Structure 1
Amino acid sequence: MPDARISELPAAAFPADTDLAPLVQSSDGLNETRRASVAQLRGAVLADRAAHVRDHGAKGDGQTDDAPAIQAAVNALAGRGGGTLEFGPRTYRIASPIVVEGATVRFQGAGFTEGPPPAQGTWLLVDTTGFTPITFRGLLARGSAVRDIAVQQAHTAALNASWAPTPYDFVVRVEDCFGGVDFDNLFLCGVNKGIHCRNSGRLDIRRLRAQAFSCAVEIDECYDVPRIHNVHLWPYWNGGNDVVRWQQNNGDAMVFRRSDGAFIDQFFALGYRSAFRFASSAAGVTTKFYIGQAYVDFAKYAVLVEGANTTGQIAGLTTQGELFGSGGTPVAGSCGVLLAGTGARVQIGNLRVDTVEDNPVRLEGSNNRLDLFSLRCVKFNTRANNAAAIHLADSGAAAPNAVHLGSPPLLEGPPTPGPLVNTGTNGVLSKQAPAGRAARPGLAVGSADAGFFAPSATSLAASVGGAEVLRASAGGGVTMGGAAGAHAFEVAAPASVANRVLVSGAAAGAPVSVQAQGADANIGLALSPRGTGALSAQVPDGSATGGNARGANAADWQTARSGAAQVASGPRSSVGGGSNNTASGTSSTIGGGDTNTAAGLGAAVAGGRGNQAGGTDSWVPGGSFANVRGQSGKGAWASGQFAAAGDAQAGEQVLRRQTTDGTPTRLTADGGAPNAANTANLPNNSAYACRIMVVAKEVGGGNAKAMWDFVALARRDASATATNVTASPVAGTAQAAALGAGSTTGWSVTLNADTANGGIAVTVVGAAGATINWVARILSVEAVG
């Protein structure tokens, strides 16, 4: 019926590509009827639009192998420069490989309903092993994508304790694209392995939901920042103990080998051996990875670092290592973070680890460094074997492992938490801060100019208000009260640690103490000034409170005085205590008491009050108000006074001289010529009752000896010239020895009044050719006034 009207023609059951159809075509303003095949019409209408898998024969019935039809559609798109390949809401069985190569093709599904079996939306069903279902390969495949599609594999093993997944290859492989392939809204429901990317940078995975038994994503040779966001790995296909526990023993959710700068964020995984496994390949290891927010449940390890020199950061991670379906029992050997290789550098901002067998954090190998800025460990040390929150393996001769804490960790039970770090390791656990300086310490406390800083690699210092107040140096001790070299106090590093000083305080009413402590039964305690510096119980201040400066090498333990001069002011002088005492003579000493004075060279006052030792080598044993009156070597003691010190006292003086001839010679306190200080002189208006004993001994060739004993009354009135001595034996007459031995012929002693100096003159005569030592002791009872 060539001339029949169109309305008179029979209806076509299903138009084939070779069928013809009339059409009116406008050309140069003229309408002309022409014919065209259905294939020609389709090509014209669908030019530059998305293709559909059904156009190439895909059935989507879940029975037919639709892979050849899908491959044909991919090839067709490649022939026209790539494009979008649409999948309807059907189940497409894939039993042979689909390869996208030489073109950019985007697989676009119709979405999916979560959960098995394949339900509404677009599903790919894989039930045959030995091939990769979808592969993107080569440079021209960059920019390809898979969106809004679900995938399920058939696993027929019996669900029992021996269950294992069917060993399918990865669902998708991205190979040698050198650029990005995107995955968006992909559902892998019960697959053995999910996505593998090799030698293709800028991989982008978003909204991935999966139960991938062995591995969800593996990346290697990715040199340009892959990105993985919004991942939820959950037992969608089967949540039984047999399946999930197999994953806990064998599955690694994310495996990174050589990957540069991987970004992972908003990640959740349940039931894996490891959530993030950083391994290695011939191409290298992962560096500069970043994990933003991650929560890992029922995993042996949240982070497992095996590759040497892996580096990366984690902003926030929560993980728990419970054996699935066990009611709280942890997986054997579980821990939150395990650095198992060498040279890793990992930083974690916030880390919580719950329910692990022993250690929440472990560093094995050597030279690993982990920086933790906020750590919380809950329910660890579950075997009660004193397992530490952080276990640092001893690296032996290799570089030690180190963990640096940014804040104090929180360690919680039950059961009783273990220690923070294990013992018996050369590993380092510390909190570190920059070296800083006094004005801006590296670790500030309260304000920017107060805290701790490190002046050198071997010292640590503290500053307040920008000024150093404390420093501790290795091998150099501790300085306090100012910068080193301008400090006020120093504790030197000891040569031995057997003995030490204990400085302790006390409650109100009790004294503070400085004690020698240590291993020895008897320990000395030394206070050593420098050079000619003095020791004193108070700081000299020129007032009655602290007193004047002490003498060179003096020691002054007196703490009460009424005048600034009442101190140990003489060189090498000392005041043992008491009050208001003055030791002004060189090498003079006052033991204590009150208002005593030792002004002579070598003078000494043992104690008492109001005593005066003003002569060279003079002394007062105690009592009150004795006065040696400037006499050399004289001792005096009293129990009080009438009107002035020394007016009612006893005294004692030793005189000496050596003779070698028969010339009369005066005995004196210092063995020199007589003067007012070295003889037995009286003050004006005084009377002394004396006993004078003299002994003489020949030295050298002879061996003669003799003694004399006098009782005398010495008087001195208004002046020295008014001095008189009466004695028994008679004064003024030479007396032979009272007792003697050997040849003492010519030896004599005469007592006379010394009107030049105002005292008692003891004059001796020896013998020519004889060397004789003469010693006299004068015991006196003295009244003055």
Structure 2
Amino acid sequence: MCMKSFKRSRRSFCLAVLLLLTTLWSAAQKDKNVNINPHPESADVVSVLDFGARPDGQADATGAFQKALTSFGTKGGTVYVPRGTYLFKGSLNIPQAVTLKGAFESVPSHNGIRNKGLPKPGDDGTTFLITGNRGTEDAAPFITLNTNSTLRGVVLYWPLQDPENIPEPYPWGIAMRGKNPAVLDVEMLNPYNAIDASKNERALIRNISGQALRRGIYVDGIYDIGRIENVHWNPWWSMKPRLFNWQKENGEAFIFERTDWHYVFNTFCFGYKTGYKFGASSGSTGACNGNFLGIGADDCQTAVLVEQSAPYGLLITNGEFVAMEGADPTMVVVTGANKGNVRFVNCAFWGPCNRNAMIDGTGTIGFSDCTFVQWDRNKEGLPSIQVNSGTLLVRGCDFGTNAPQVAIGESVSRAIVSENTVKGKVNIINKIQNAFVNGNIGTEQ
């Protein structure tokens, strides 16, 4: 090789090495910048720290947050809340198309009381301490969402609640208004009233956990489909007897009134007077109809209470229901006011209750491919399903207690009880002529 060719090759090699080093350095700097400043300020993202908020849990951050939220005018954007603890003595209104976002990318779940119930600043990602409107249930909600606005990635905590005593009233933690409001990846550790999801369209509630003390989610006045997914109310904050017993005597985890075809998936509650309550509000026309898949209620007085349902029906599939509290624990109670349809498909009922279902009203109530494990806890000869009026359908179910399975009262208009399996002898009490009772098989003749 000539000297001239050798120099050209060495120059090309050096340029290639220099280019490689430059690329590696740029990538390292890029990664470094991402780690240092994961939410750089831009036209679409601002930080609450730049508006005077202090993440120390001591200074009232209400004013600084509201300035940050309204800084976008009408164009929308994201207000980022870095890791830390922020104190609020007032309320926030999230404008249209604005997102209030904390450091969490997935909702946390606490376990019990740590540090006497008060998180240390910065220990729990982005944490909001809420003290405003203490003792006033009908005051302004802590956060109000509007059209296309979102709350995401934060913990909401009411530090003045005493885990040892009956809880003090507070207004709703979150109110959802307008069209397409969303609450995503949020822990509401101990709200008195958690989420008011009424008077909106197409609201999305996803990945929520905590211990709602009086009310969990309230739905009413909905005329376009709403969605509730992965919401679990568990007593992670306090199971101290005075507080928890009050919750089990007064608490309502999920309340549905006037709504058109709500979609509810993977929801759960533990330790409430009523797990799921369906009714009709005085301020709206009509009742609830919807699709409820994979829902559960444990340690309740009544797991499902139907005061009213729409003619289109409540479709409840793959549910798990346990009632064991109070003087008359019953998994499903349908009141005399109900005129609509309710269908339970592939659901399971267990726990030391009196009855699995007590049914009144003029609507149609159906159980298909369900499992009834326990009832008649005091050995009084109570049936699993007591129907006093309306229409009853029970088909393809399994009854696991050697006690009466179904009792059809004389005011029932029609009933079908067929092709069920039972433990012991088939014991179906029928007081009407307009009934089809056939093909039921027990372990004893």
Count the aligned residue pairs. Answer: 363
Q: Equivalent residue for 2:428? A: none
Q: Report the AA paired with residue 152 of structure 2.
A: R
1:272 to 1:308, Cα distance in 2 relative to 1, 3 A: same
Are 1:132 and 2:141 an aligned pair?
A: yes
Deviations 1:87-134, CA, capped at 9 Å, x for gaps:
111111111111124x31101110165325433201111123244211
Determine the C-alpha separation between the residues in 1 that align with 2:84 and 2:314.
Answer: 42
The answer (yes or no) to whether the contact 1:278–1:285 under 8 Å persists in 2 is: no
Q: Report the AA paired with residue 358 of structure 1.
A: N
- Matching of residues 233-272 of structure 1 within 5 Å: 233-272=233-272
Q: Equivalent residue for 1:320? A: 322
Determine the C-alpha separation between the residues in 2 that align with 1:388 and 1:275.
Answer: 22
Query: Offset at 1:429?
Result: 3.0
1:359 to 1:113, Cα distance in 2 relative to 1, 3 A: closer
Query: Offset at 1:52?
Result: 1.0
More helix by share: 2
- Matching of residues 159-170 of structure 1 within 5 Å: 159=164, 163-170=165-172
Query: Offset at 1:320?
Result: 1.1
Q: Equivalent residue for 1:299? A: 300
1:156 to 1:188, Cα distance in 2 relative to 1, 3 A: closer
Q: Equivalent residue for 1:106? A: 99
Q: Which ranges of structure 2 fall in alignment gaps of 5 or more residues?
A: 1-39, 420-433, 437-445
Between 1 and 2, higher relative CO (CA 8 Å, sep ≥ 6) is seen in 2
TM-score, normalised via structure 2 length: 0.76
Determine the C-alpha separation between the residues in 1 that align with 2:394 and 2:367.
Answer: 5
Which entry has the higher C-alpha Rg, 1 or 2? 1
Q: Equivalent residue for 2:357? A: 361
Are 1:120 and 2:124 an aligned pair?
A: yes
Determine the C-alpha separation between the residues in 2 that align with 1:46 and 1:242.
Answer: 47
Q: Report the AA paired with residue 174 of structure 2.
A: V
Q: Equivalent residue for 2:367? A: 372
Q: Could you say what the CA RMSD is over the residues aligned between the two structures, in angstroms?
A: 2.3
Deviations 1:288-309, CA, capped at 9 Å, x for gaps:
3111102221012221111254
| 3-state SS of paired residue (1:288) | strand
Are 1:417 and 2:403 an aligned pair?
A: yes
1:258 to 1:127, Cα distance in 2 relative to 1, 3 A: same
**In the alignment, which of 146, 155, 164 is matched to residue 150 of structure 1?**
155
Determine the C-alpha separation between the residues in 2 that align with 1:371 and 1:66.
Answer: 52
Q: Equivalent residue for 2:291? A: 290
Q: Report the AA paired with residue 415 of structure 2.
A: L
Determine the C-alpha separation between the residues in 1 that align with 2:218 and 2:380.
Answer: 37
Determine the C-alpha separation between the residues in 1 that align with 2:215 and 2:291.
Answer: 20
**In the alignment, which of 381, 400, 404 is matched to residue 393 of structure 2?**
404
The answer (yes or no) to whether the contact 1:229–1:264 under 8 Å persists in 2 is: yes
1:226 to 1:150, Cα distance in 2 relative to 1, 3 A: same
Q: Report the AA paired with residue 57 of structure 2.
A: G
**In the alignment, which of 376, 379, 399 is matched to residue 381 of structure 1?**
376
- Matching of residues 566-581 of structure 1 within 5 Å: none
Q: Equivalent residue for 2:416? A: 430
**Identity over aligned pairs, percent:** 20
Determine the C-alpha separation between the residues in 2 that align with 1:198 and 1:67.
Answer: 24
Determine the C-alpha separation between the residues in 2 that align with 1:166 and 1:191.
Answer: 10
| 3-state SS of paired residue (1:92) | strand
Q: Equivalent residue for 2:346? A: 350
Q: Which ranges of structure 1 fall in alignment gaps of 5 or more residues?
A: 1-44, 324-330, 394-399, 434-457, 461-785
Query: Offset at 1:432?
Result: 7.9
Q: Report the AA paired with residue 429 of structure 1.
A: A
Determine the C-alpha separation between the residues in 1 that align with 2:280 and 2:289.
Answer: 14
- Matching of residues 555-634 of structure 1 within 5 Å: none
Determine the C-alpha separation between the residues in 2 that align with 1:420 and 1:155.
Answer: 49
Query: Offset at 1:49?
Result: 3.0
| 3-state SS of paired residue (2:354) | coil
Determine the C-alpha separation between the residues in 2 that align with 1:189 and 1:158.
Answer: 12
Deviations 1:514-556, CA, capped at 9 Å, x for gaps:
xxxxxxxxxxxxxxxxxxxxxxxxxxxxxxxxxxxxxxxxxxx
Q: Equivalent residue for 1:391? A: 386
Query: Offset at 1:418?
Result: 2.9
Determine the C-alpha separation between the residues in 1 that align with 2:405 and 2:367.
Answer: 17
TM-score, normalised via structure 1 length: 0.44
The answer (yes or no) to whether the contact 2:79–2:99 under 8 Å persists in 1 is: yes
1:427 to 1:353, Cα distance in 2 relative to 1, 3 A: farther
Q: Equivalent residue for 1:90? A: 84
